[in-house]
């Protein structure tokens, strides 16, 4: 069973209205400066086997959506695709649109979408930490 509760701290933000573009927030999977908590032997964790879930309010009007998840070592550049999925209108309306993340060692993640058609509603993207798929 999938995770049915999303954590606001794992949100990539909101696109309002849902249109082609990048969600406003970038997630840092590493420790914050000055924090004593650590990942044994590493500076960051990873999101392997997790998904990015795009939740859409009122998916009317749009006919398709491509979700791309990218990772970067430093969050400033060198972004590479670590997940991509294409959804048709029926899948979008059934939601959420889940895109699997490939194994990687990148500390920063961001999400962008390419919309086919004009959606009437908004979208929020979350890192879904349920790894039991």
How many structural domains does the chain have?
Answer: 1
Domain annotation covers residue 106: yes
Residue 92 is part of a domain; what is its CATH number? Answer: 2.60.120.1110
Domain annotation covers residue 2: no
Q: Which of 34-43, 79-88, 100-109 is predicted with the least confidence, judged by mean pLDDT?
A: 34-43
**Residue 16 domain boundaries:** 8-32+42-128
Q: Which of 3-7, 18-22, 48-52, 119-123 is predicted with the least confidence, judged by mean pLDDT?
A: 3-7
Domain annotation covers residue 1: no
Percent of the chain with pLDDT over 70: 86
pLDDT of residue 38: 62
Q: Which of 7-21, 59-73, 118-132 is predicted with the least confidence, judged by mean pLDDT?
A: 118-132
71: left (phi over 0), alpha (psi -120 to 50) or beta: beta
Among all chains, which residue has been given the structure tokens 């964790």?
Answer: 45
Q: In the predicted model, what is the mean pLDDT of residues 8-20? A: 95
Domain annotation covers residue 69: yes
Domain annotation covers residue 97: yes
Tell me how crowded residue 114 is: count the other CB atoms within 10 A of its CB: 13
pTM: 0.89
Domain annotation covers residue 99: yes
21 DSSP β-pair partners: 113
Asked if 125 and 54 touch (Cβ cutoff 8 Å), the reply is yes
């Amino acid at each position: 069973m999938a995770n049915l509760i999303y954590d606001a701290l794992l949100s990539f933000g909101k696109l309002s209205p849902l249109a082609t573009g990048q969600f406003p927030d970038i997630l840092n999977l590493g420790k914050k400066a000055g924090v004593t908590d650590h990942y044994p032997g590493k500076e960051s964790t990873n999101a392997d086997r997790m998904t990015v879930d795009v939740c859409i309010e009122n998916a009317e009007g749009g006919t398709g959506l491509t979700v791309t998840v990218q990772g970067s070592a430093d969050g400033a550049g060198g972004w590479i695709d670590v997940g991509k999925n294409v959804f048709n209108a029926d899948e979008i309306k059934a939601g959420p649109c889940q895109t699997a993340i490939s194994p990687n060692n990148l500390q920063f993640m961001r999400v962008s979408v390419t919309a086919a058609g004009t959606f009437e509603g908004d979208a929020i993207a979350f890192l879904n930490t349920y790894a039991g798929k």
